[in-house]
Structure 1
């Protein structure tokens, strides 16, 4: 399912226009993104939690040449599925 499929499904399920569903989805993604940028955490009970984790700098290898390279430290977004979502999938 891609973004437009999700918008169509949200509009049908909620009985709203596609424009309203798109606005709601965009608002969700914008708010999750801005919270994570600030280093916060977003939890939807029973569904899951988004958080930011720091990945340390490390030495890696170029698979073509075998030469060692330095990989910079960075922040990564993580999602941990909640009990409700995990149960629904299994």
Structure 2
């Protein structure tokens, strides 16, 4: 399976859109910044058909130390959930 890093992505989008790589890179920076701020604020970002990004919460829970078997408390935390939309899922088929 091939991999596409950020440099390759910027070059591909620039070629597809006719924009400069510098302009595309700036747009990606702005996109990622906006996504980060929105998710941090608890706002769900949805691009219909392509993807949805939202903050999730994990409750505090009791775990177990795998080496000693002793119970340990795991603090509550927040995470990020990214869901593929129908167009992205169809492209993967």
Q: Following superposition of structure 1 onto structure 2, how do residues 6-45 of structure 1 map, counting pairs within 5 Å? A: 6-45=9-48
Structure 2 residue 70 is matched with structure 1 residue 63? no
Gaps of 5+ in 1: none
Match of 1:81 among 80, 84, 88: 84
Gaps of 5+ in 2: none
Deviates more, 1:39-48 or 1:12-21: 12-21
What do you get for the CA RMSD once the two structures are aligned?
A: 1.1
Query: What do the CA deviations read for 1:25-70 (whole angstroms, capped 9, x no partner)?
Result: 1111001111111110100011011111111011122223323221
CA distance, structure 2, for counterparts of residue 82 and residue 10 of structure 1: 20
Aligned residues: 90
Instruction: Report what 1:52 is aligned to.
Output: 55
CA distance, structure 2, for counterparts of residue 4 and residue 21 of structure 1: 10
With over 3 angstroms needed to count, the CA separation of the structure-2 counterparts of 1:2 and 1:62, relative to structure 1, is farther
Deviates more, 1:61-70 or 1:4-13: 61-70
